[in-house]
Structure 1
């Protein structure tokens, strides 16, 4: 059993992971107790959650098949059924393919940084962590607000349905239904008494757990993409300093300047440390980030007894410069593999999500044409519509950010002063431009690319299908 790892991406996603475990997701790793009674209790809790979620969804499907008598009722219950299908499919998908998620979570557990670029890497990692937690708080707040709104709407509506009289098709009769958040069929009488109270508690639990299952898995996807985007920003930021560093390999007097000025902070970080003073060495990160503003550390090789080469660098300093190029390439390869693992983990789930959302939005658009005023029906329809659109948009906006950031890497490589660099650096830039011609993307089982273009396509498909329904009506 895997122990808790508070470093790397797992540490950054720790709040999201804990919430997934608390809501009964089959995320059995990353616990302090690695086995024994703790593991048995976690298995029992996951199985209990699975049974409760599927039983209630089964009751919802039974209501659709047994209790709806006209097109309007069937459309309304179908929307609810499709809406919660997201939760059921994602919960099942994660349970069956958890190994892919573990692989993605473990992809960045080991610290993989270069002493010269540690400050930039740490800053962008902190930015990613801040964005992840802010997104988790926003989606968590929306989830809680959605449950509270659902309960509020429940008690504002009338617990009566107008149904066609089975004995006379030309007349309608009023049928009392339980005042519950979700219309569902039950093998017991849930209209009053203790059975009503217990059913209401069950539905309240199911409503919160279902929304949490879906939203927490969506948040994890967005966090993966955010982390990838910040790593790409880190690589773009260090390209120019990397070129200026490489110029020292072909020149006796290296370029000077504030190479590691943060893009937003404006602080200067020097490249080489105190030249071996105070017992330091060329690879000591404490010496690398000193307050000097030029390459005097590179030229101070005599102070530490090193051998000065024709370019004015000691052997260790020259190796450090060459290793910086290797670091960039290896880190970019890591990002590419990480994005590929995201697609492997989420591909089929994204495809099912978009297909289900398209059908749901089409039915919601049709139901919206029946809104005649400000009432419970209008509030429910608009709530479903905004929530479903938001679920699609949150995927697409982050997927589009990944495409834009990966595309801009090639522009950053061409814009840096590669012509002043060494021959190695010029070859390196050619390789970067070649490798970055194709943007990094996350696809839905190879059928589509997650981007704002996908959002526009879904919206266009909804409009088309809506017009067909209107004509058929």
Structure 2
């Protein structure tokens, strides 16, 4: 078996990627086994999953067309159809646009960092990984709970459905229906015997994988955004130490080399973050030079009497400081490209998701007006409503975090002691402020920006359409 070496973001997202593969997503890369037979088996499993997803959804649509006779029946079944449309469209979307997902996954497949800021980069990467896994666990538990609740509610309701008589619209008739999670039309009798148990097992499997398909793709989006936000926090954190380092380039300070001088064996190389104010970030670089070949001998100018400039720094140390400024600019450019890649990957899917959710929430609000007590109907309607709102909110809250973090970069650049820095540092701050004037955002096919404002807009649209439905009755 050939082991696939995972780097960067792909390695951090390995649990999510593995779950997507186990649920039948067309994610054929990043497998441990790369042989031809293994790939054929994976493709066969994906095709089987695709057939299962589409055939059951087709049965659901057939029920909507053939078995509903009035507005209430049609509204109830339409809600279910739209609810699972999320899963079907996202599953299809990923299958056809998987190369864009691979490109985004590979956009940060690097582990290198500047030696002065390795500790900060590693810490924020660990924070991003922790947040990703917590989100995956929470969404995973919600998915399992949703399947369990859906199955439980099925047996609490009577297996009888009052329907309008197709021969006389003024009368209703009681029709016995199978106790299944989802109402669907089948070319076989699914009410009794072995066909009922087989249909029930098939629906249970279908219910789990469709919810998993949608939720795992949503989690992947949130993980991308979380990673970008933590990288922005890393860049903000190192701005102040970077300014203090650059201040030594143009200053005639004989002891400025102490910024780099290590103490006794095992001690930390410290860069104090806020000078005399003492209220900023203290930046500690722990043992970073022992593993950095290019800079392993940069202290020789001080400790061994090498050439030291008027600013108290050796040529190698000056090179290190200038490379730190370049590192910041290049890393920020990488974040911008990464966020742009997220938008290209998810744009159309986000647009479809928000449109479908708006219609679904409008119908759910209309159905909620018919709740008369605590019963299965009320539980189902509220469950649909909370779940659909949660799907929209999880996108918007992370998109809003990205906007806030990217907006605060310019403020952090202006607030650092740039006026004490070198001419290079002052030019650098101007570049940062110029680059960060516009916040980083993820858009839905350029129709809207994913943020809490979008959540409010969706909620407002639902209220408007709901009032129209009430007036039309």
SS in 2 for 1:372: coil
After superposition, residues 49-448 of structure 1 pair within 5 angstroms as 49-253=49-253, 254=256, 259=271, 269-270=284-285, 283-284=295-296, 301-448=301-448
Name structure 1 gaps, 5 residues minimum.
289-296
TM-superposed CA distance for 1:271, in Å, is 8.7
Query: If the length of structure 1 is used for normalisation, what is the TM-score?
Result: 0.93
TM-superposed CA distance for 1:279, in Å, is 12
Q: Which moved more, 1:379-388 or 1:162-171?
A: 162-171
Q: For the structure 1 residues 412 and 266, does the alpha-carbon distance in structure 2 shift closer, same or farther, using more than 3 Å as the test?
A: closer
Name structure 2 gaps, 5 residues minimum.
260-269
Q: For the structure 1 residues 267 and 250, does the alpha-carbon distance in structure 2 shift closer, same or farther, using more than 3 Å as the test?
A: closer
Measure, in 2, the Cα distance between the counterparts of 1:281 and 1:203. Answer: 59
Measure, in 2, the Cα distance between the counterparts of 1:272 and 1:76. Answer: 63
Is 1:116–1:271's contact at 8 Å kept on the other side of the alignment? no
Is 1:272–1:282's contact at 8 Å kept on the other side of the alignment? no
Q: In structure 1, what is the equivalent of residue 472 of structure 2?
A: 472
SS in 2 for 1:103: helix
TM-superposed CA distance for 1:266, in Å, is 7.4
Measure, in 2, the Cα distance between the counterparts of 1:469 and 1:191. Answer: 35
Is 1:3–1:29's contact at 8 Å kept on the other side of the alignment? no
Q: For the structure 1 residues 117 and 33, does the alpha-carbon distance in structure 2 shift closer, same or farther, using more than 3 Å as the test?
A: same
SS in 1 for 2:111: coil
Q: Provide the alpha-carbon RMSD of the alignment.
A: 2.3
SS in 2 for 1:440: coil
Is 2:117–2:285's contact at 8 Å kept on the other side of the alignment? no
Measure, in 2, the Cα distance between the counterparts of 1:332 and 1:127. Answer: 19
Measure, in 2, the Cα distance between the counterparts of 1:169 and 1:315. Answer: 91
Listed one character per residue, the Cα deviations across residues 136-171 of structure 1 (whole Å, up to 9, x for unaligned) are: 000000000000000010000011111122333322
Measure, in 2, the Cα distance between the counterparts of 1:259 and 1:84. Answer: 54
Measure, in 2, the Cα distance between the counterparts of 1:255 and 1:78. Answer: 71
SS in 1 for 2:148: helix
Q: In structure 2, what is the equivalent of residue 294 of structure 1?
A: none
Q: For the structure 1 residues 401 and 268, does the alpha-carbon distance in structure 2 shift closer, same or farther, using more than 3 Å as the test?
A: closer
Measure, in 2, the Cα distance between the counterparts of 1:265 and 1:309. Answer: 29
Is 1:396–1:451's contact at 8 Å kept on the other side of the alignment? yes
Measure, in 2, the Cα distance between the counterparts of 1:273 and 1:103. Answer: 31
Measure, in 1, the Cα distance between the counterparts of 2:15 and 2:462. Answer: 36
SS in 2 for 1:308: coil
TM-superposed CA distance for 1:39, in Å, is 0.2
Is 2:246–2:321's contact at 8 Å kept on the other side of the alignment? yes
SS in 2 for 1:460: helix
SS in 2 for 1:161: strand
